Amino acid sequence: SEFKEAFSLFDKDGDGCITTKELGTVMRSLGQNPTEAELQDMINEVDADGSGTIDFPEFLNLMARKMKDTDSEEELKEAFRVFDKDQNGFISAAELRHVMTNLGEKLTDEE
């Protein structure tokens, strides 16, 4: 899997652990762009033994969380496209009324 390859790439000594510093490099190689604070939070979330290194199961746990965030962003874009009938990147009052009416909401022009 791409995660195993990425993990191995940055597990320099092959001991099955990556250091916290290497985590940022791994994340960026997979298209993520975490800040230092975010990296520290992620490390704290999965570094169960407080060793300052992350083993592969901990890494997978971390990536699963990150990918879940990405999925929800895609779901939001899908929902937006449902509203944005003419695909112009904006939801007009008419488009909003159309969707709300389909959902059984009666709206006045002012609303």
pLDDT in tens, 74-98: 777 877 787 788 889 888 888 777 7
Residue 97: CATH number of its domain: 1.10.238.10
Kindly state whether residues 15 and 51 are assigned to the same domain. yes
**Structural domain includes residue 79:** yes
Q: Is the pLDDT of residue 5 over 80?
A: yes
pLDDT score recorded for residue 70: 67
User: Residue 87's domain spans which residues?
Assistant: 74-103
Q: Which residue has the tokens 């990556």?
A: 18
Kindly state whether residues 61 and 17 are assigned to the same domain. yes
Phi/psi of residue 105, each to 5°? -90, 130
What single letter denotes the amino acid at residue 81?
R
Kindly state whether residues 78 and 60 are assigned to the same domain. no
Average pLDDT estimate for 17-44: 80
Kindly state whether residues 56 and 32 are assigned to the same domain. yes
Share of the chain above pLDDT 70, in %: 93
Kindly state whether residues 63 and 30 are assigned to the same domain. yes
Kindly state whether residues 13 and 60 are assigned to the same domain. yes
pLDDT score recorded for residue 16: 92
Instruction: Provide the domain count of the chain.
Output: 2
pLDDT score recorded for residue 24: 82
How deeply is 107 buried, as exposed, middle or buried, from its count of CB atoms within 10 A (0-12, 13-18, 19+)?
exposed
Kindly state whether residues 45 and 88 are assigned to the same domain. no
Note every long-range contact of 10-15, with CB atoms under 8 Å and residues 24 or more positions apart, other chains counting.
none
Between CA 94 and CA 100 the distance in angstroms is 10
What's the pTM value of the predicted model, to 2 decimals?
0.47
Kindly state whether residues 10 and 61 are assigned to the same domain. yes
